[in-house]
Amino acid sequence: MSSSDHTSTAIPYGMATLGIATFSTMDVVMKGLSISLGAYNAMLWRMLAGIILGGLLFLVSGTRLPARSTFRLHALRGTIAAFMATCFFWGLARVPLAEAIALSFIAPLITLYLAAVLLGEKISRGAIFATILGFLGVLVILSARVTGDYQPEVLKGSAAILVSAVLYAYNLVLQRKQAQLASPIEIVFFQNLTAGAVLLLAAPWLAVVPAVSHAPAIVGSTVLAIVSLLLLSWAYARAEAQVLVSVEYTAFVWAAIFGWYFFSEAVSLATLIGTVLIVGGCFIAARQKSGSKPSHVEVVAL
pLDDT at 124: 75
pLDDT at 133: 85
Average pLDDT of the chain to the nearest whole number: 84
- Per-residue CA distances from 105 to 68, 164, 248, 273, 274 (Å): 33, 11, 9, 13, 10
Distance between CA atoms of residues 176 and 166, nearest Å? 16
Q: What contacts 134, CB < 8 A, 6 or more positions away? A: 105, 106, 109, 277, 278, 281, 282, 285
- Percent of the residues in the chain that have a pLDDT greater than 90, as a whole number: 45
Q: Please, are residues 173 and 84 in contact by the beta-carbon 8 Å criterion?
A: no
pLDDT (average), residues 124-134: 79
Which pTM value belongs to this model? 0.87
pLDDT at 295: 40
The residue among 84 and 128 whose pLDDT is bigger is 84
pLDDT (average), residues 109-135: 77
The residue among 98 and 113 whose pLDDT is bigger is 98
DSSP string, 207-269: --PPPGGGHHHHHHHHHHHHHHHHHHHHHHTTS-HHHHGGGGGHHHHHHHHHHHHHH-PPPPH
